[in-house]
């Protein structure tokens, strides 16, 4: 989620600047500049860990239906 906010930060800020009357949902949940700063720091910290986690995920690995017959 933080990556999504990081990617969409500029369009959200442009929307806020261009529209004098903000939608209630946006106005009730908008982030302050401090919140944006915390989000950007979180993305910078967590992105390398997320990349490492995805790299270590198994996509092609043997399952029991392939391993058991080869054992006999």
Average pLDDT, consecutive stretches of 10 residues, N- to C-terminus, the chain (72 residues): 78 84 81 88 90 78 75 70
- DSSP per-residue codes, the chain: -HHHHHHTHHHHHHHHHH-SS--HHHHHHPPPHHHHHHHHHHHHHHHHHHHHHHHHS-SS---HHHHHHHH-
* Domains of the chain: total: 1
Q: What's the chain's average pLDDT?
A: 82
43: containing domain? 2-71
pTM over cut 0.75: no
> What pLDDT sits at residue 19?
84
């Amino acid at each position: 989620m933080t990556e999504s906010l990081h990617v969409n930060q500029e369009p959200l800020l442009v929307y806020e600047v261009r529209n004098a009357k903000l939608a209630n949902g946006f106005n009730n949940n908008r982030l302050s500049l401090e919140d944006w700063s915390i989000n950007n720091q979180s993305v910078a910290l967590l992105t390398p860990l997320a990349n490492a986690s995805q790299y270590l995920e198994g996509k092609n690995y043997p399952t029991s239906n392939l391993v058991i017959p080869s054992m006999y």
